[in-house]
Amino acid sequence: MDKKLLIGNGAVARGLYEGGCVFVSSYPGTPSTEITEMAAQYDEIYAEWAPNEKVAVESAIGASIAGGRAFAGMKHVGLNVAADPVFTASYSGVNGGLVIAVADDPGMHSSQNEQDSRNYAVASKIPMLEPSDSADCLEFTKKAFEISEKFDVPVYLRLSTRVAHSQSLVELSPRENAGLKEYAKNPQKYVMAPANAKVRRVAVEKRENALREYAETCELNRIEWNDKKIGIITSGVAYEYAREALGDRASYLKLGLVYPMPEKLIRSFAREVEKVYVVEELDDYIESFCRRCGVDVRGKELFSFIGEYTPNMIRKVILGTAPEIPAQADVPVRPPVLCPGCPHRAMFYVFGKMKLNVSGDIGCYTLGASAPLTAMDSTICMGASIGVLHGMNTLRPELAGKSVAVIGDSTFMHSGMTGLLNVVYNQSPSTIIILDNSITAMTGHQQNPATSYTLKMKPAPALDIEGVCRAIGVRRVRSVDPFDIEEVETAIKEELAADEPSVIVAKHPCALLKYVEKKPPLTVDSEKCRNCGMCGKLGCPAIVRTDSGVSIDHTLCAGCGLCAEVCKFGAISREEN
Amino acid sequence: MYNIMIVGVGGQGSLLASRVLGAVCISRGYDVKVSEVHGMSQRGGSVVTYVRAGEDVASPMVPEGECDMLISFEALEAYRYLYCLRKGGSVIVSTQEIMPMPVITGAAKYPENIIDKLKSADVNCLAMDAVSLAESAGTAKASNVVLLGAASAMMDVDVEVWYEAIKNNVPEKFVDENLRAFELGRAAAQQKN
Ligand SMILES: Cc1ncc(C[n+]2csc(CCOP(=O)(O)OP(=O)(O)O)c2C)c(N)n1
């Protein structure tokens, strides 16, 4: 048997391949991104980046109706964006199997909130599988297609950061036969207008009952009997933590199907063990189900709702013992920063200099909120910058002349365009700055509709961002190069002064793109340097300032020259050799 | 169970190092788990990657105090995670210093004499100028592989297995310089031992 080390996301991609999936449409988002990137490496699978999660799911629904096994992947907050089609696809059901992966991020390694996607399964009446390691990821993905087709329902695959991004061993098998199922018009099933939806609504409840029954015997739920003093009900990576912490001192009910829950199985497990603990990160999802069934369990009164668990934490709570951990040295934190050479830095430097109110958005540029740039005043979710600015400007017109929205290229296309349309339609004098670095950078450089390439690196028409803004009705649209900070400042001043909506597109490719040439590093002339701290305001990791003066770390410097631009004493220059 | 942690600053190449180490461990027939970091902290933040090998690995992360070998691409990061090492464990550290933003802004101080502190701890410390060694191999970027070379000198694995793992995980045009970097790190560690 062919064994391989794969990250969970790679194993899901392999599961898509082996499971005969023919269509993948996703929007990137940590920790889900690599599923789609790795699925795209199989020639047999059509795979694309959609502009957002809603479009991705809708496209996958279409592919499923067409008769193919289809998939959409996203991070937890992506499911908020896609929720609308998902909730009704629960009614219309599928033709080819439809699987939706949603990756939660306990601990918020790369996210703006810590929502627990299992709640979506209940709300949308869609079954949810939850793997614990890469082998599970591969097997569960294939199983999800089977369940989807057998019960005529989309199926969620719930991952978390540690499952998605941990490598473990998987066994590879060949691809299943992946033809298209027959397609026949069926408006009663696929046109979800009230008359049809009412009929499907009844079918949904029937299906729920069938799935509840299936859950009782489904092989994805598994009991491991060991010592019966302690019984653990768990799922996902928490199962691995519990196993590490307690070994055979506890028996385990590992739930692979987390919605619907197997009531009888839980009861019979609980009867056999002396004390039952539920070990689950985030919400008390399994626990409250158990309580509703009258099963006496211990859970969140002992464990946190917040963040990730560890084996030591579980050991301490359940066994009352934990190894003594030496204290961590008291050292400075190292938060993420804008890279050396990042074009966003110049923009945030100017925002700070002009003391603007900045309605922010999500992407690498959110790092403009951290010290020393600290030039962002709100960040809610993708696309929100424009709506938030519009709302503020409408109620506080006196602030409009000092306020901007700032949004990345991918984020603008994801969900900024409708916000801009609202600004134009309802005429707030808002100034929107689009940071076009020619890539979706934060999530690791994905192509998008403005980059000229598809996920499979086929040439594609590039969206004309300025053209779209004009078409939406913005009359004042201009573009600037962020590294020309004088021009940037002038443009912002003029557009803020204008009493109508305006857009500034700041265009400069991400410094990490391979085709961007690195220029020679810069050097500080210690004779001229007065150690005034001006260059320190840029928050460039390559600029090192000590009591004795400033120096530039040549291994880090990307040669962008921004520091030379802001130095008032001409002390920084490029080393030409 | 053998527990390794690879720590450094986002963008220093911990992903490649963890994949090479993972490949080495599986070719020895172990169960292996490797916990990678993608996303936000890769933008210059503190990054921790775990590699675990044994009969049956449950958690993908190394519990604090159970780490056998800490490989650090940067001095401060080695010091930050020193507490995860078991007594008598090994730390292999690049002497490179990268200032974190709170130090650059003056809100915090970069600790002094980190290498001395590591050496006086209850662990085996091997410190090397991995960046210079990597530069002499052809690219400063290969300092991650220099440190793997040093690690290989402390692990009982046939060197051919390492070569294979590097070849399989590095783009073809960079294989030669990475193999050179590996050899330099290995030789440096053997000399010091
Ligand atoms: C609904 C939703 N989907 C996905 C993400 C993950 N995500 C965060 S920022 C981002 C894209 C950023 O790209 P862009 O706007 O081009 O800015 P850049 O990072 O390139 O500066 C993505 C996909 C998210 N936070 N929310």
Question: Of A149, A123, A101, which is closest to residue A260 (Cα–Cα)?
Answer: A123
- Contacts of A486 by beta carbon, 8 Å cutoff, 6+ apart: none
Question: Of A420, A389, A386, which is closest to residue A402 (Cα–Cα)?
Answer: A389
Both A152 and A195 in a single domain?
yes
Nearest to B80 among A31, A329, A337 (CB): A329
Q: Which residues of A fall within a CB distance of 8 Å from B107? A: 332, 371
DSSP A440: B
B36 to A133: CB separation less than 8 angstroms, yes or no: no
- DSSP string for A251-315: EEEE-SEEES--HHHHHHHHHHSSEEEEE-SSS-HHHHHHHHTT---B-TTTS-SSS---HHHHH
Q: Which amino acid is at A217?
A: T
B138 backbone φψ class: left, alpha, beta (φ>0; ψ -120 to 50): left
Q: How far is residue A189's CA from residue A184's CA, in Å, rounded to a whole number?
A: 11
Closest chain B residue to the Cα of A327, Cα to Cα: B83
Question: Of A433, A417, A421, which is closest to residue A507 (Cα–Cα)?
Answer: A433
SS3 A387: helix
Q: How far is residue B186's CA from residue B152's CA, in Å, rounded to a whole number?
A: 6
Type and span of the H or E element at A124: helix A118-124
pLDDT tens series, chain B, 193 aa: 999 999 999 989 999 999 999 999 998 889 999 999 887 777 899 999 999 999 999 999 999 999 999 999 999 999 999 999 999 999 999 999 999 999 999 899 999 999 999 999 999 999 999 999 999 999 999 999 999 999 999 999 999 999 999 999 999 999 999 999 999 999 999 998 6
Both A184 and A271 in a single domain?
no
Beta carbon of A28 within 6 Å of any ligand 1 atom: yes
Instruction: Find the A414 Cα to ligand 1 centroid distance in Å.
Output: 8
Beta carbon of A161 within 6 Å of any ligand 1 atom: no
The whole-number pLDDT of residue B193 equals 65
DSSP A175: P
Beta carbon of A379 within 6 Å of any ligand 1 atom: no
B79 to A444: CB separation less than 8 angstroms, yes or no: no
Both A114 and A34 in a single domain?
yes
The whole-number pLDDT of residue A394 equals 97
Which of A159, A192, A217 terminates a domain? The answer is A217
Strands B31-35 and B46-54: antiparallel
Long-range CB contacts (< 8 A, 24+ apart) of A173-179? A173/A18, A174/A18, A175/A17, A175/A18, A175/A20, A175/A44, A176/A18, A176/A19, A176/A20, A176/A142, A177/A20, A178/A20, A178/A21, A178/A22, A178/A44, A178/A68, A178/A69
Both A170 and A315 in a single domain?
no
Q: How far is residue A403's CA from residue A377's CA, in Å, rounded to a whole number?
A: 10
Closest chain B residue to the Cα of A241, Cα to Cα: B59
**In angstroms, what CA-CA distances link B184 with A17, A90, A256, B73, B131?**
41, 59, 47, 16, 11
Q: What are φ and ψ of residue A165, in 5° steps?
A: -110, 10
Question: What are the sequence ranges of the domains in chain B?
Answer: 2-192
* Structural domain contains residue A328: no
- Contacts of A418 by beta carbon, 8 Å cutoff, 6+ apart: A383
The whole-number pLDDT of residue A1 equals 56
CA A240 to chain centre: 23
Q: How far is residue A515's CA from residue A548's CA, in Å, rounded to a whole number?
A: 37
Question: Of A341, A337, A333, A367, which is closest to residue A552 (Cα–Cα)?
Answer: A341
A339 to B11: CB separation less than 8 angstroms, yes or no: yes
Instruction: Find the A436 Cα to ligand 1 centroid distance in Å.
Output: 13
Q: Give this prediction's pTM.
A: 0.97
Both A210 and A228 in a single domain?
no
Strands A98-104 and A155-160: parallel
Sign of CA dihedral A553, B17, B142, A363: negative
Question: Of B46, B11, B18, which is closest to residue A445 (Cα–Cα)?
Answer: B11
SS3 B122: coil
Strands A549-552 and A476-480: unpaired
Maximum distance among all alpha carbons in chain A?
Answer: 82
A402 backbone φψ class: left, alpha, beta (φ>0; ψ -120 to 50): alpha
Q: Look at chain A and report how many structural domains it folds into.
A: 4
Both A230 and A212 in a single domain?
no
Q: Where are the beta strands (DSSP E) in A418-537?
A: 431-436, 476-480, 502-507, 522-524
Beta carbon of A77 within 6 Å of any ligand 1 atom: yes
A333 backbone φψ class: left, alpha, beta (φ>0; ψ -120 to 50): beta
Which of A461, A483, A507 terminates a domain? The answer is A507
**In angstroms, what CA-CA distances link A234 with A119, A251, A256, A309, B188?**
16, 11, 9, 12, 47
Both A438 and A472 in a single domain?
yes
- The complex's ipTM works out to 0.96
DSSP A340: T
Instruction: Find the A284 Cα to ligand 1 centroid distance in Å.
Output: 29
Token reading at B65: 């105090």
Instruction: Find the B79 Cα to ligand 1 centroid distance in Å.
Output: 33
Question: Of A500, A358, A504, which is closest to residue A429 (Cα–Cα)?
Answer: A500
Question: Of A134, A102, A135, which is closest to residue A121 (Cα–Cα)?
Answer: A102
Beta carbon of A428 within 6 Å of any ligand 1 atom: no
- Contacts of A396 by beta carbon, 8 Å cutoff, 6+ apart: none
- 8 Å CB contact between A353 and A328: no
Q: What are φ and ψ of residue A257, in 5° steps?
A: -105, 105
DSSP A427: T
Q: How far is residue A204's CA from residue A141's CA, in Å, rounded to a whole number?
A: 22
SS3 A232: strand
CATH 3.40.920.10 describes domain B2-192: yes
Both A44 and A185 in a single domain?
yes
Residue A6, CB half-sphere, CA atoms under 13 Å: how many?
24
Question: Of A94, A62, A99, A100, which is closest to residue A81 (Cα–Cα)?
Answer: A100
Beta-ladder partners of A222? A254
B99 to A165: CB separation less than 8 angstroms, yes or no: no
CA B121 to chain centre: 18
Both A133 and A259 in a single domain?
no
Which of A281, A304, A319 terminates a domain? The answer is A319
pLDDT tens series, chain A, 577 aa: 578 999 999 999 999 999 999 999 999 999 999 999 999 999 999 999 999 999 999 999 999 999 999 999 999 999 999 999 999 999 999 999 999 999 999 999 999 999 999 999 999 999 999 999 999 999 999 999 999 999 999 999 999 999 999 999 999 999 998 799 999 999 999 999 999 999 999 999 999 999 999 999 999 999 999 999 999 999 999 999 999 999 999 999 999 999 999 999 999 999 999 999 999 999 999 999 999 999 999 999 999 999 999 999 999 999 999 888 888 999 999 999 999 999 999 999 999 999 999 999 999 999 999 999 999 999 999 999 999 999 999 999 999 999 999 999 999 999 999 999 999 999 999 999 999 999 999 999 999 999 999 999 999 999 999 999 999 999 999 999 999 999 999 999 999 999 999 999 999 999 999 999 889 999 999 999 999 999 999 999 999 987 888 999 998 999 999 999 999 999 999 976 5
- DSSP string for A488-499: HHHHHHHHHHSS
Type and span of the H or E element at B31: strand B31-35
Token reading at A172: 């590879």
* Structural domain contains residue A59: yes
Both A262 and A312 in a single domain?
yes
Both A86 and A144 in a single domain?
yes
Strands A3-7 and A166-171: antiparallel
Burial of B122 (0-12, 13-18, 19+ CB in 10 A): exposed
Q: How far is residue A182's CA from residue A49's CA, in Å, rounded to a whole number?
A: 26
The two counts, helices (H) then strands (E), for chain B are 8, 6
Both A135 and A281 in a single domain?
no
Nearest to A336 among B26, B41, B79 (CB): B41
Domain that holds residue A233: 221-319
Token reading at A140: 């569960």
Please give, rounded to a whole number of angstroms, the shortest distance from the CA of A7 to a CA of chain B: 8
Beta carbon of A413 within 6 Å of any ligand 1 atom: no
* Structural domain contains residue A517: no
Residue in the block written with tokens 């928490």: A238
